A and B are shown apart, each in its own frame.
Chain A
C-alpha cells in the first residue's frame, strides 16, 4: 500500500514539474509574441508616412496603396495571444503586409522622382532595419514555439497540456510570393548597368 502511495506521490510531483515547464514555455511564447508585436508596431508606424509620400508620385498604383492600408488595418486587429488560431491569423496578416510593403518599394524603383526622394530612401533604410528586428523577433518566437510544441505534443505532455488547456502555437512563417519567383538575371543586369528594359513600368508623369 505504501509503495502505491509513494509511486502515486512521485507521479504527482513529476506531473506538477511537467505542468510548470509547460506554463513556463507558454509564457515564453507570449513574451516572444509580445516582442514581435513591439517590432511590428514600428512597421505599422512607418507605413502612413510611406503611403503619404507614395500617393504623391504613384498615381498608377492606387490599388496597391489601398490594399496596403487594408492590410495594415487587418494586421492591427485585436487578437487573443493565447489562442493559436487567432495568433495564426494575426501573423498571416503581418506576413501579407510585409509582402505588400516589399512590393511597394520594388514598384517605387520605377518612379525616379520617388526613388531619388531623400525621405523615401530614409524610409527604405528604416524599413530594412525594422525588418531586421522583426526577423530577429520571429526567430526568438519560433524557437519558443518549438520548445512549447515539443512539450505539448510529446507524451505525457499531451495529457497534462490537455488538463492545463495549453495548446500548440503556430510558427511565424513568411509566405513571400515574390521571394519564390525565379530571378530574372537580365532585369538585374539591366538595372545595374543602367540599360533600359523593354516594357518598363510607367515613369512619373507618363
Chain B
C-alpha cells in the first residue's frame, strides 16, 4: 500500500487518523474490485475495437466480392455499443462506490454530510436572483452540507445547459446543448438580519450592465469602492440595506474571494436573500470526484486533492468572515 498522505495544514480537522483507521482499509479492500473492473473495461474496449475492425474488414470484403454486408455491419455496431455501454456501466459502478468511500468518508470525518446524487437543494433562488444564467437542462450532484465555526452551509456542483436548435444542409433539425454554467452553488447562513434582496453580479461592461440591468429586480446600488465597482454590479430593493450588508470591509473580502477562487475575478456572483448568502462560483473542473479508477485507490494524491477541494468551503467562510458576530 502507498504511504499515508500528508494532510494539508488548512484541513479543518486532523483526518490522518480517520483515514488510516477507516478509509484506507476500505480502499484497500476495494483495490481488488478496481483491478477486476479495469480488466473488464480493457476487455470490453478490445472487443469494441475488434468489432470495429471486423466491420471495416467486412465492408471491404463486401465491396470486393459484391456480397451483402448488412449483418456484419449491424452485428459489429451492436457489439461496439454493447461493449461501450458495459464498460461505462462498470466504470460508473466502481467509481460511485469508491467516491462514496473516499469523499463520503472524508466528509464524515469533517462532520459534513455528503450526498452524491438524489438530494434536495434550494436551486430556485439562484435562478430567481440571476446568479446563474437561464438554461433548459441541469444536473446537480455532490451535495455537501454542514457547519464550520458555527456557520451552517450547503453546496452542490451544478452543470447547466441551454438548448439550441440548428438546421444542417439537408434541412434536418439538430438539437444541441451548450454549457452555460459549471461550478459550485453555495448557501451560507449570514450573521446579519435583513429583509430585502441584494444581488452582486460580475461587471459586464457599460453596455452589458445596461442590458442586464433592465431585467433585474431592484435598483442599481453605486458603492464607494472603485475597485469593487469595476468588478461587480450591485442591485437591491433597499439601498440602505445593501450598504448595511456590503460594508467596506465585506466588499474587500468579496474582492479577495473573487480573485483567489474560481476562474478569475468575474467568476463569482452573490445574493443576500432570506437571511442567507448565496454564492455561485464558476469553476471548470468537476470537483469532489476523487479521480479516475485507472490508478490505485489509495494514492495519496487523491486525498490531498480532495482535501484541497473541500478547503474552499471553509476558505469562503474564513475569507468572508461569515462567523464574525461583530457583524462588520
Contacts and interface: CB of A to CB of B under 8 A. Distances in A.
Contact of B243 (A128, A129, A140): A140
B100 interface: no
A136 B240 contact: yes
Contacts of A129: 193, 327
A136 B198 CA distance: 14
Contacts of B244: 132-133, 135-136
Contacts of B243: 135-137, 139-140
Interface string A46-69: 000000000000000000000000
Contacts of A96: none
Contact of A128 (B193, B224, B327): B327
Contact of A132 (B222, B224, B242, B327): B327
Contacts of A39: 240
A136 B222 contact: no
A35 interface: yes
Interface string A124-155: 00001100110111011001000000000000
B209 interface: no
A73 B17 CA distance: 64
Contacts of B240: 35, 39, 133, 136-137, 140
Interface in A104-133: 128-129, 132-133
Q: How large is the interface on A (under 10, 10 to 19, 20 to 34, 35 or more residues)?
A: 10 to 19
Contacts of B224: 139, 143
Contact of B239 (A35, A128, A135): A35
Contacts of A136: 240-244, 247
Interface residues of B, number: 14
Contacts of A137: 240, 243
Contacts of B327: 128-129, 132
Contacts of A32: 239
A128 B222 contact: no
A129 B247 CA distance: 13
B280 to A, nearest CB: 25
B239 A140 contact: yes
B78 interface: no
B242 to A, nearest CB: 8
B326 interface: yes
B328 interface: yes
Interface string B298-328: 0000000000000000000000000000111
Nearest to B242: A136
A197 to B, nearest CB: 24
Contacts of A143: 222, 224
Interface in B238-255: 239-244, 247
Count chain A CB atoms within 10 A of each CB in B193, B241, B243 and give the residue with the most. Answer: B243
Interface of B: 192-193, 222, 224, 239-244, 247, 326-328
Which 4 pairs across A and B sit closest by C-beta, in order of nearness?
A136-B244, A136-B243, A139-B243, A137-B240
Given A35-B240, A135-B244, 7 more contacts: A128-B326, A132-B327, A133-B240, A135-B243, A136-B240, A136-B243, A139-B243
